[in-house]
Structure 1
Amino acid sequence: MDGPPWYAEEHERERWCRLLRGYGIDADARDLRLPRPDAPSPAPGAVVLHPGAGAPARCWPVERYAVVAEALRARGRRVVVTGGADEADLVARLAKRAGLPDTDVFGGGLPYGRLSALVADARAVVSGDTGIAHLAVAHATPSVTLFGPVPPSRWGPPPDPRHRALWHPGPDGDPHGRRTDPALLRITPDAVLDACDALDALDTPDAPDAPEEGP
């Protein structure tokens, strides 16, 4: 079967848009925005932590998310935690370690409309390489995304100071692996907090541009 050529290092966003264009369907890889949801946010202005992902290889340790949550709360930020339908236990462990009240725990899978509203009105989203990171980009919500087995050059956000991609360069890992990828483990809570500080600094003049890939 004939089809478009395959470029292994191409960003997935470009790949799929190129596929559509090959069939005469207009697709702009730069047009990432979604309309704002009609539903109100259940936690406007909160920092959203999302510890889960499609596979353990892309899950940063819960203990480190808890350190980030505690530090952000000490700075006066409201922190909420989210998770998919099969991640209730993961979310509960993070909430317990971080001392979050039940009102700030959204485990077990929010309906899409409420999750979209939560992300759209969040102060920031901190997560691994998973769907909620893309939703943050689509709503222009500041984000910190932690990469391990796959580089942000293939799955990360577009270059934008509102979106920080943390990654330690190295050989590709298995994004579907059953253990946290070693590159992801090299990211420290301090690095995540520094990235959050950089997002806060965007409210001030002369804020630095975001790197295309993380430290």
Structure 2
Amino acid sequence: MTTDATGLAPDLPGLGGQDAGTVLVLRALGLGDALTAVPALRGVRRAWPGRRVLLAAPEEVGGWLRDLGLVDGVVPAQGLAPLAWVEESEAVSGAPPSGHVAVNLHGSGPQSHRVLLDTAPEHVVAFASREAGVAGPGWDPDEHEVDRWCRLVTAAGGACSREDLRLDPPASRGRHVVVHPGAASGSRRWPADRFAAVARDLAVAGHDLVVTGGPDERDLGARVVADATASLAEATGATGAVTDTAGTLDLPALADVVASARLVVCGDTGVAHLATAFGTPSVVLFGPTPPSAWGPAIDPERHVVLWHGGDGASARPGGQPDGYRGDPHAVTLDPALDRVTVDEVVAAARALLAVAPRRA
């Protein structure tokens, strides 16, 4: 994309007054969505280094990103609901600050654009939407989620890239393997008995397993642990422990468990993006959404993506076959995810564990 003398793309508004004021960023989505936007948030800092950056997002996710120093404050938000300008202990007097810049990292518009337009910003950085009357770069539906938001913010003067995904990892890895059987929708949730079979195999090999899940996934976690440990009784010799933490970890604690793990096995969900950010090796199972759009965007040697949505191939990130898109919000298991077998997940996990350091 060409730029004018200011260094800005000609289809974006001029962005003056960068030494003071506020930048309001909308990303009122879940953990995985938030993590894919981390490079763009860093780009926002670079574009407006003197401004206070507020993130409109769910409180837990936004608060965690604030504590990491990626933003300065949180405007609690869910989806496309109107924004309530009350920012924790530092309230914004019930009204948006004047002259602020609004950055839409939520969607292509027009609905999300209008959520920000209702705050009366001085400037809007967003993808073009004729319906909302907003100018900007064009939306590419096939673009990787990380690249999409980097392109938008870079066009506004805030250089950022996939490398900005990285979060500081722990000094050393633990002994445990994370198994995360949950996902927000049934179409992206591999069957619990298959996760249990993978957990059993790794425990028999002597690996300690930690099963994770959200508050509404306690029953799922308990079922995976019960099935895995029941079959462990038939194993001979020493086996690893299988620990159920589903529903017991807040987001910072979950991040610590993933960051210190030797391996993560999960579906296309937020935990996979935590593994990418912390450089934790992972086996990620994809179904309705192609990994070329949401898969690990850095360190391909650390991650194995299993997907049978194109020509049936399974591969490390990069060059995965496209040609299939299911419904990521459907209730029933996606056919592409259903074709992923226990044997191939176990094989991928063993291969990564064979090269992953095992430090206490």
TM-score of Structure 1 vs Structure 2, range by shorter chain: 0.7 to 0.9
Matched AA of 1:157? P
Deviations 1:112-161 (A, max 9, x none): 22111111110100000000000001111100000000110000013511
Check whether the contact 1:49–1:65 (CA below 8 A) recurs between aligned residues. yes
Q: Percent identity?
A: 49
Q: Distance in 2 between matches of 1:191 and 1:103?
A: 21
Of 164, 175, 199 in structure 1, the residue corresponding to residue 304 of structure 2 is 164
**Partner residue in 2 for 1:146:** 285
Q: Are 2:144 and 1:11 aligned? A: yes
**Partner residue in 1 for 2:350:** 197
Q: Distance in 1 between matches of 2:199 and 2:241?
A: 15
Deviations 1:53-94 (A, max 9, x none): 111110000000010011101101111100012111111111
- TM superposition outliers: structure 1 runs of 4+ over 4 Å: 100-103
Matched AA of 2:246? G
User: 2:327 aligns to what SS in structure 1?
Assistant: coil
Deviations 1:1-53 (A, max 9, x none): 11211112110010011121122223222222112469x99xx3211000011
Of 155, 159, 170 in structure 2, the residue corresponding to residue 26 of structure 1 is 159
User: 2:190 aligns to what SS in structure 1?
Assistant: coil
Q: Distance in 2 between matches of 1:108 and 1:65?
A: 17
**Partner residue in 2 for 1:60:** 190
**Partner residue in 1 for 2:107:** none
Number of positions where the alignment pairs a residue of Structure 1 with one of Structure 2: 201
Q: Distance in 1 between matches of 2:204 and 2:252?
A: 30
Deviations 1:158-206 (A, max 9, x none): 35111011001332100000011010000000010111122124359xx
Considering Cα pairs closer than 8 Å and 6+ residues apart, tell me whether 1 or 2 has the greater RCO: 1
User: 1:99 aligns to what SS in structure 2?
Assistant: helix
Deviation at 1:111, TM superposition (A): 1.3
Check whether the contact 1:37–1:116 (CA below 8 A) recurs between aligned residues. no
User: 2:283 aligns to what SS in structure 1?
Assistant: strand
Of 97, 121, 127 in structure 1, the residue corresponding to residue 227 of structure 2 is 97
Computed over aligned residues only, the root mean square deviation of the Cα atoms, in angstroms, reads 2.3
Check whether the contact 2:178–2:264 (CA below 8 A) recurs between aligned residues. yes
Matched AA of 2:190? W
Q: Distance in 1 between matches of 2:196 and 2:267?
A: 14
Of 121, 124, 131 in structure 1, the residue corresponding to residue 263 of structure 2 is 124
Runs of 5+ consecutive residues of structure 2 not aligned to the other structure:
1-133, 231-239, 311-323
Q: Distance in 1 between matches of 2:160 and 2:136?
A: 17
**Partner residue in 1 for 2:218:** 88
Deviation at 1:102, TM superposition (A): 9.4
Matched AA of 1:74? V
Larger radius of gyration: 2
Q: Distance in 2 between matches of 1:80 and 1:155?
A: 24
Check whether the contact 2:211–2:246 (CA below 8 A) recurs between aligned residues. yes
Q: Distance in 2 between matches of 1:47 and 1:25?
A: 37
Q: Are 2:320 and 1:181 aligned? A: no
Q: Are 2:174 and 1:35 aligned? A: no
